[in-house]
Chains A and B, each alone.
Chain A
């Protein structure tokens, strides 16, 4: 069965960086993209970006350009999301999600989600 298993809780100070991992299993890793979605307390989800796991192409949210980097290690089927220069507004639960590679995909949606990683940014 498809599973996305994320790394654990993180507590960081403003200005620091965080790197969250997401181990995928149960499907062919390079046949799907990976997106990252975050959800601040009491808010709706926010798309952060998407990565083509096949060729490494990335597409980041404009609001995070320059602070976020998404990578993958296809040998271990693990995706990573690094966020730098953290501020208190980055406090949220961060999810990795399986995403389609192409706009013509049968399911143009996020069909599998990781369990979430809580990031707290506080001095």
Chain B
């Protein structure tokens, strides 16, 4: 199984801040990397697929990049509704594995 490691596990930030989350795969996954946002008590929501493609309806302040083993999710200007937990997931090979998440909290 491909291990996905996210860092940091949590971060505190203020509205308007630029934040960067990282995800590392245990082997090359090309660009088969997806990002999900999960609000408390809700199902995860797909934000970005194939490393950098925004899902329909996702605000342009979200951006993704990376290939191979190292990936980043950037939120250019944090909004109140962005405080949530973010998971990366590889879809290169089954089982499709998730990272343990980065919780973005209000400073």
Known: A113-B45, A114-B43. Contact between A108 and B91, CB under 8 A? Answer: yes
Cβ-closest chain B residue relative to A105: B91
Which parts of B31-67 form the interface with A (CB within 8 Å)? 32, 34, 36, 43-46, 49-50, 55
Instruction: Pick the contact of B49: A35, A59, A108 (CB < 8 A).
Output: A108
Which of under 10, 10 to 19, 20 to 34, or 35 or more describes the interface residues of B? Answer: 20 to 34
Which parts of A79-122 form the interface with B (CB within 8 Å)? 95, 107-111, 113-116
Q: Which residues of A contact B46 (CB under 8 A)?
A: 107, 109-111
Kindly state whether residue A61 has any CB partner on chain B within 8 Å: yes
Known: A108-B49, A109-B34, A109-B49. Contact between A45 and B44, CB under 8 A? Answer: yes
Instruction: Pick the contact of A108: B36, B50, B87 (CB < 8 A).
Output: B50
Which parts of B82-100 form the interface with A (CB within 8 Å)? 87, 89, 91, 94-100
Q: Do B95 and A47 have beta carbons less than 8 Å apart? A: yes
Instruction: Pick the contact of A109: B43, B89, B95, B101 (CB < 8 A).
Output: B89
Q: Which residues of B contact A107 (CB under 8 A)?
A: 46, 49-50, 55
Distance A59 CA – B96 CA, assembled complex (angstroms): 11
Q: Do B91 and A44 have beta carbons less than 8 Å apart? A: no
Distance A115 CA – B39 CA, assembled complex (angstroms): 12
- Number of A interface residues in the complex (CB < 8 A): 20
Secondary structure type dominating chain A contacts: loop
Kindly state whether residue A29 has any CB partner on chain B within 8 Å: no
Distance A115 CA – B99 CA, assembled complex (angstroms): 21
Distance A35 CA – B89 CA, assembled complex (angstroms): 14
- Taking A44-B87, A107-B46 as known contacts, 16 extra A-B pairs with beta carbons closer than 8 A to each other, sorted by chain A number, are A35-B96, A44-B98, A45-B36, A45-B98, A46-B98, A59-B94, A95-B44, A107-B49, A108-B32, A108-B34, A109-B34, A109-B55, A110-B89, A111-B46, A113-B45, A114-B43
14 contacts between A and B (CB under 8 A): A44-B87, A44-B98, A44-B100, A44-B101, A45-B89, A45-B98, A47-B97, A61-B95, A108-B32, A108-B91, A109-B91, A110-B34, A113-B44, A114-B43
